[in-house]
């Protein structure tokens, strides 16, 4: 009997130990699940924001929503509206609503050139008015690589066209590079010929100059002789000239005193004569015999240099 | 002296006094500036007649200026026209054209247009001549127009410059009787010279030679060296073209005459022409 009693107390002890272990395990499991939920944000407060886009291209459920590069939420729903536009609802952490202004713009762009798409909320300039929960924001789509490639193509196409035209002109055998090269070749040949001719002519000039210098030397000798002759005769000639000049001066001095009164008298006499003649012309009966001056007609000559009969060219 | 003679003398004196008193009143004297302007124009005309065209042009220019200062537009235009004529004789065709174009008086329009035609022909602008000739034909188309002979002659010159030989002959021959009636000897010689050149062109050397010699005779009478030299050159050309026996020596003789006349008159260009023709004919 004592043995059975001892076995009952051991079982009870085992039962109590098992219950304690199960309780601790249950508490640990609850703590772990709670921690996981907390980590997943299940208990965090969220806010909803929305926007309307023309197309749902590159927008899908779960797409990250960022502010200033930090992930603050994700796309909750993407629905096609009756008017053909796409309505997108985002769910973001309510703590970050303090950065979202009413005039904020949601921009879809790629992370890097070929990275995944992401929605970035760009706050507007008016920081005082914050967006409310379930507010509708503006949406814009940043150009991706294709758009950039298209823009680049649009810019490059005219340049390529110009290059094609220039290449065509350069390749033109009449006006292009071949013709220019031919002209350059021809010019070079002409230049060589010109240089050769120039050299020859310089040589000829040199010879001619030698001859001219020889002649000049002879002329200088002749001039020297002539100057000698002039030198011997000049003093006498100068003496004679001086005498003539003296005589002319004397005559001029005499004339200076006698001629002006004579001229004055002559002028007065001429004026008197003109007056007398004019008077006589206008006096009766002489005026009847004098014709009044009438304009005379010039003798006409339509070909004064007799050039009119020269045969036309 | 008898009483009768004394009476006759008194009667004569009285008669003279009465005639003197009864004659027309003395006109007011001509103003000094107007007399000066008329005198300048008269001197210009005298210089032109003497062949001093440069002095004539200067005097007519001064006359035009003086008359303009007296507000006598008609007299100023007359002087301007005569200035243009003198400049044409000097060989200054462009100046002559400008001055003839300035003449606005209706009574002088025909003369002004004739001078413009002459100037344009001298400048070799045949196209510019036709509108002027058309205006002249309108103004001077009737037989009563005193400048009709000169107009016909200029039409002949224009036709010659345009290469129309038949029209040249027609107009020049039509001008001859009118010019003869007006005793315009210089113009008659011009017409004969033109006829000679046109006849030479049609290879009618006999008629050409006769016309050229007629022109030469008139120019000799008028003592115009430049025209005489031109006539001899033309005669030389006709003789060369005739190709008769002895024609070569005849042509050379004519060119020699042209050369000597031109050299004596100091006409260098004509002398060169004659020398060139002489060399060509001797080859």
User: Computed from CA positions of residues A19, A21, A24, A28, in that sequence, does the dihedral angle turn out positive or negative?
Assistant: negative
Using alpha carbons, select from A127, A123, A1 the residue that is nearest to residue A66.
A123
The answer to whether B157 touches B119, Cβ cutoff 8 Å, is no
Tell me if B163 sits within 8 A of B147, measured CB to CB: no
Which residues are CB-neighbours of B107 under 8 A, at least 6 positions away?
Answer: B74
How far the first Cα of chain B sits from its last, in Å, is 95
Please give the pLDDT value at position B72.
92
**pLDDT score at A266:** 72
The predicted pLDDT at position B17 comes to 72
Tens digits of residue pLDDT in B190-202: 999 999 999 999 9
Average pLDDT over chain B reads: 90
Write out pLDDT tens, residues A35-94.
Answer: 888 777 677 788 999 999 988 888 999 999 999 889 899 999 999 988 899 999 999 988
- Tell me what pLDDT residue A291 has: 60
Residue B121 pLDDT greater than 80, yes or no: yes
3-class SS string, chain A: CHHHHHHHHHHHHHHHHHHHHHHHHHHHHHHHHHHHHHHCCCCCCEEEEEEEECCCCCCCCCCEEEECCEEEEEEEEEEECCCCCEEEEEEEEHHHHHHCECCCEEEEEECCCCCCEEEEEECCCCCCCECCCCEEEEEEECCCHHHHHHHHHHHHHHHHHHHHHHHHHHHCCCCCHHHHHHHHHHHHHHHHHHHHHHHHHHHHHHHHHHHHHHHHHHHHHHHHHHHHHHHHHHHHHHHHHHHHHHHHHHHHHHHHHHHHHHHHHHHHHHHHHHHHHHHHHHCCCHHHHCCCCCCCCCCCCCCCCCCCCCCCC
State in Å, rounded, how far the first CA of chain A is from the last one: 169
A-B Cβ pairs (cutoff 8 Å, strict) = 81
3-state secondary structure of B172: helix
* b (16+ CB within 10 A) / e for A289-312: eeeeeeeeebebbbbbbbebbbee
Positions of chain A with pLDDT lower than 50, given as ranges: none
Reported as type and span, the H/E element at residue B61 is helix B53-69
Give the model's confidence band at B1: pLDDT under 50 very low, under 70 low, under 90 confident, else very high: low
CB of B227 closer than 8 Å to CB of B214: no
Q: Which residues contact B121 (CB under 8 A, 6 or more apart)?
A: A308, B129, B154, B157, B158, B161
pLDDT of residue A307: 83
Residue B89, chain A, CB below 8 Å: the answer is yes
User: Shortest CA distance to A304 belongs to which of B36, B102, B3, B92?
Assistant: B92
- CA torsion angle B84 B85 B90 B92 (round to 10): 40
**How distant is the Cα of A273 from the closest Cα of chain B, in angstroms?**
17
The pLDDT assigned to A127 comes to 82
The residue ranges of every structural domain in chain A are 46-143
**Measured distance CA(A216)–CA(A222) in Å, rounded:** 10
pLDDT at B119: 95
Chain B residue numbers touching A306 (CB-CB < 8 A): 190, 193, 226-227, 230-231
Chain A residue numbers with beta carbons less than 8 Å from the beta carbon of B39 are 293
B129 or B31, greater pLDDT: B129
Region of A284 (left: φ > 0; alpha: ψ -120 to 50; beta: rest) is beta
Task: Note whether A295 contacts B160, CB cutoff 8 Å.
Answer: no
What is the structure's pLDDT at B130?
92
DSSP assigned state of B145: -
Q: How confident is the model at residue B59 (pLDDT cuts 50, 70, 90)?
A: very high
Which domains are delineated in chain B?
A: 34-123 (1.25.40)
Instruction: Give the pLDDT band of residue B275 (cuts 50, 70, 90).
Output: very high
Question: Is it the case that residue B25 has pLDDT exceeding 70?
Answer: no
A298 with B45: Cβ contact below 8 A: yes
Q: Which of A274-288, B116-130, B238-252 shows the lowest mean pLDDT across its residues?
A: A274-288
Task: Give the residue from A281, A286, A296, A308 with the most B CB atoms within 10 Å of its CB, the best one to mutate.
Answer: A308
Q: What is the pLDDT of residue B226?
A: 93
């Amino acid at each position: 009997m004592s043995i059975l009693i001892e076995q009952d107390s051991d079982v009870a002890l085992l039962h109590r130990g098992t219950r304690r272990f199960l309780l601790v395990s249950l508490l640990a499991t609850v703590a772990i699940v709670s921690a996981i939920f907390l980590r997943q944000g299940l208990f965090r407060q969220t806010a909803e924001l929305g926007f309307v886009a023309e197309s749902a291209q590159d927008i899908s459920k779960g797409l990250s929503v960022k502010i200033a590069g930090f992930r603050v939420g994700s796309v909750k729903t993407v629905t096609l509206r009756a008017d053909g536009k796409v309505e997108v609802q985002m769910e973001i952490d309510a703590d970050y609503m303090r950065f979202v202004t009413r005039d904020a713009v949601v921009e879809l762009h790629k992370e890097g050139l070929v990275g995944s798409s992401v929605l970035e909320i760009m706050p507007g300039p008016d920081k005082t008015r914050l967006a409310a929960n379930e507010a509708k924001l503006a949406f814009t789509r940043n150009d991706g690589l294709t758009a950039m490639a298209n823009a680049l193509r649009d810019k490059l196409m005219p340049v390529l066209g110009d290059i094609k035209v220039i290449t065509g002109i350069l390749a033109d055998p009449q006006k292009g590079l071949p013709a220019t090269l031919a002209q350059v070749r021809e010019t070079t040949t002409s230049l060589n010929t010109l240089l050769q001719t120039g050299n020859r002519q310089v040589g000829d000039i040199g010879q001619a100059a030698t001859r001219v210098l020889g002649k000049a030397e002879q002329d200088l000798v002749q001039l020297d002789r002539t100057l000698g002759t002039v030198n011997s005769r000049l003093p006498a000639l100068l003496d004679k000239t001086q005498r003539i000049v003296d005589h002319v001066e004397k005559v001029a001095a005499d004339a200076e005193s006698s001629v002006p009164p004579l001229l004055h008298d002559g002028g007065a006499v001429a004026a008197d004569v003109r007056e007398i003649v004019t008077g006589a012309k206008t006096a009766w009966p002489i005026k009847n015999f004098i014709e009044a001056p009438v304009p005379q007609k010039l003798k006409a000559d339509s070909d004064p240099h007799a050039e009119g009969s020269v045969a036309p060219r | 002296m008898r009483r009768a003679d004394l009476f006759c003398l008194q009667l004569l004196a009285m008669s003279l006094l009465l005639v003197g008193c009864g004659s027309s009143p003395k006109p007011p004297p001509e103003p000094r500036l107007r007399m000066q302007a008329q005198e300048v124009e008269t001197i210009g005309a005298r210089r032109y007649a003497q062949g001093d065209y440069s002095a004539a042009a200067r005097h007519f220019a001064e006359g035009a200026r003086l008359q303009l200062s007296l507000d006598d537009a008609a007299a100023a235009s007359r002087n301007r026209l005569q200035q243009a004529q003198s400049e044409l004789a000097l060989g200054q065709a462009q100046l002559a054209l400008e001055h003839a174009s300035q003449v606005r008086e209706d009574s002088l329009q025909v003369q002004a247009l004739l001078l413009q035609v002459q100037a344009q022909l001298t400048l070799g602008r045949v196209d510019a001549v036709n509108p002027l000739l058309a205006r002249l034909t309108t103004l001077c188309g009737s037989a009563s127009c005193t400048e009709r002979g000169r107009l016909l002659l200029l039409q002949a010159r224009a036709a010659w410059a345009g290469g129309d030989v038949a029209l040249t002959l027609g107009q020049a021959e039509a001008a001859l009787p009118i010019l003869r009636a007006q005793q315009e000897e210089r113009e008659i010689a011009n017409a004969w010279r033109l006829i000679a050149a046109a006849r030479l062109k049609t290879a009618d050397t006999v008629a050409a030679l006769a016309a050229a010699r007629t022109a030469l005779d008139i120019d000799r009478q008028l003592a115009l060296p430049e025209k005489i030299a031109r006539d001899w050159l033309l005669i030389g050309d006709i003789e060369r073209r005739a190709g008769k026996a002895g024609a070569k020596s005849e042509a050379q003789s004519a060119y020699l005459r042209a050369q000597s006349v031109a050299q004596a008159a100091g006409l260098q260009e004509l002398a060169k022409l004659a020398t060139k023709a002489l060399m060509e004919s001797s080859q």
